């Protein structure tokens, strides 16, 4: 795999504000800044993990990349070409290159359509193949996601499949055009551990055999470590730490990444549970609007340093970068 500077995807200073809809029906009507000046690159052939707790902005990143939402500001490039505002043929071409797999395999498949129709639809939309080659392409991709023999599945409907099988169908549909880049948004959060491991292995296989670059969205550092080459940790729309999965998980620098690792239950003694102790028991009663977004929860924060301005990502070593005033070198 080549993780030299061959970026498939570049995100630069991307901000997304969801506008409040007014204070009707009990809604607060406040704007929500889901992403705040986020920048990172995903290199050719890698699986890049975007890790963070619920509401941190992970899905928003995915939706902005595929164009389901518009950025408020900032730029997104695929293979060096800006994707925001693509129209007509350029937009269609882009949509054949970038696919998204969603969290819930029960909702993401159309219950009225047989597997063959679902998986062949992208081929139809993009005018790939004739009736017979299309059938072969669908068989081939079903085989490679482990729906075998494929002929047993072609004319089944989603309700006849298990959750794991449905997610395999969703992966087959995303991969059938051999896209450049695929976003998998928590693809296994509805599945049990052994089925999840099978799905991870399919994603690894797609990278290894079809060279599909991927962004894998998860709240689980353990899953990210299993699957990803590099990871980025995001908290309330801010990128806190980025680096090789190995480095970020074995040698986490940001207090938030450390707190996330503390939250992972470990085999063994409960003493191991809080190695870092970087989370306050009770949040500080401070909005932290101008300072570090993690300040209200951070046990090691310094009031004068961390509450007044926002730390930017700084390099601690090689590719490992951290946004924290208290990390040496960052």
Provide the binding-site residues for Mg ion, judged by CB under 5 A.
Answer: 59
* Crossing angle (nearest 10°) for helices 131-144 and 163-175: 130
Q: How far is the CB of 20 from ligand ATP (least distance, A)?
A: 8
Q: Using the minimum distance from each CB to Mg ion, give the nearer residue, 147 or 260.
A: 260
56 touching ligand ATP, by CB under 6 A:
yes
Q: How far is the CB of 69 from Mg ion (least distance, A)?
A: 13
Taking CB under 6 A as the criterion, the residue among 59, 108, 196, 213 binding ligand ATP is 59
Which span (40-48, 53-61, 116-124, 172-180) binds ligand ATP, by CB under 6 A? 53-61
In whole angstroms, what separates CA 117 from the centre of its chain? 27
Binding mask 255-284 for ligand ATP (x = CB under 6 A): ------------------------------
Where in 202-221 is the site for ligand ATP (CB under 6 A)?
A: 219
188 touching ligand ATP, by CB under 6 A:
no
Among Mg ion, ligand ATP, none, the one that 206 touches (CB under a kind-dependent 5 to 8 A) is none
Q: Which parts of 126-270 fold into alpha helices (H)?
A: 131-144, 163-175, 193-210, 221-227, 245-250, 255-262
Which span (58-66, 71-79, 123-131, 158-166) binds ligand ATP, by CB under 6 A? 58-66
37 touching ligand ATP, by CB under 6 A:
no
- Enumerate residues 6+ apart whose C-beta is below 8 A from 273: 262, 265, 266
Closest alpha carbon to 291 in 303, 314, 307, 313: 307
Closest alpha carbon to 69 in 7, 17, 23: 17
Alpha carbon distance 137, 145 (integer Å):
13
Binding mask 2-21 for ligand ATP (x = CB under 6 A): ----------------x---
> Quick one: CA dihedral 250, 182, 265, 277, positive or negative?
positive
Strands, sheet with 73-78, edge to edge from the N-terminal-most edge strand:
32-43, 7-18, 73-78, 81-82
Kind and range of the H or E run holding 9 = strand 7-18
29 touching ligand ATP, by CB under 6 A:
no
Question: What is the chain's Cα-based Rg?
Answer: 21
Q: How far is the CB of 301 from Mg ion (least distance, A)?
A: 27
58 touching ligand ATP, by CB under 6 A:
yes
Contact 176, 138 (CB under 8 A): yes
Among ligand ATP, Mg ion, none, the one that 17 touches (CB under a kind-dependent 5 to 8 A) is none
Which span (50-58, 107-115, 130-138, 293-301) binds ligand ATP, by CB under 6 A? 50-58
Which span (54-62, 157-165, 268-276, 314-322) binds ligand ATP, by CB under 6 A? 54-62
Among Mg ion, ligand ATP, none, the one that 118 touches (CB under a kind-dependent 5 to 8 A) is none
22 touching ligand ATP, by CB under 6 A:
no
| Count of alpha carbons within 13 angstroms of residue 114, beta-carbon side | 10
Alpha carbon distance 29, 15 (integer Å):
19
Alpha carbon distance 40, 74 (integer Å):
12
Residues that bind ligand ATP (CB under 6 A): 18, 32, 34, 52, 54-60, 219
């Amino acid at each position: 795999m080549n993780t030299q500077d061959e970026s498939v995807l570049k995100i630069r200073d991307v901000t997304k504000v969801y506008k409040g809809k007014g204070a009707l029906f009990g809604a607060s009507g406040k704007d929500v800044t889901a992403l705040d000046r986020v920048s990172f690159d995903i290199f050719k052939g890698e699986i890049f993990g975007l890790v963070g707790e619920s509401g941190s902005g992970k899905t928003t990143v995915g939706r902005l990349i595929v164009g389901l939402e518009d950025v408020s500001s900032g730029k997104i490039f695929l293979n060096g070409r800006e994707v925001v505002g693509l129209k007509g043929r350029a937009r269609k071409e882009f949509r054949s290159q970038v696919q998204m797999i969603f969290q819930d395999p029960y909702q993401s498949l159309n219950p009225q359509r047989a597997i063959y129709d679902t998986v062949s639809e992208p081929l139809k939309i993009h005018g790939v193949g004739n009736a017979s080659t299309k059938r072969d392409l669908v068989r081939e991709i079903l085989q490679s996601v482990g729906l075998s023999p494929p002929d047993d599945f072609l004319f089944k409907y989603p309700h006849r499949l298990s959750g794991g099988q449905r997610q395999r169908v969703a992966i087959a549909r995303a991969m059938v055009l051999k896209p450049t880049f695929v976003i998998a948004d928590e693809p296994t959060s509805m599945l049990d551990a052994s089925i999840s491991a099978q799905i991870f292995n399919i994603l690894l296989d797609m990278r290894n055999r079809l060279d599909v670059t991927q962004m894998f969205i998860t709240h689980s550092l353990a899953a990210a470590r299993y699957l990803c080459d590099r990871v980025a940790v995001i908290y309330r729309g801010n990128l806190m730490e980025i680096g090789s999965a190995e480095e970020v998980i074995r040698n986490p620098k940001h207090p938030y990444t450390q707190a996330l690792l503390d939250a992972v239950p470990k085999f063994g003694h409960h003493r191991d549970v809080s190695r870092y102790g970087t989370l306050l028991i009770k949040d500080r009663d401070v909005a932290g609007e101008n300072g570090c977004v993690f300040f209200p929860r951070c046990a090691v924060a310094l009031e004068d340093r961390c509450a007044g301005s926002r730390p930017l990502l700084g390099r601690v070593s090689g590719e490992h970068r951290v946004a924290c005033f208290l990390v040496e070198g960052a």
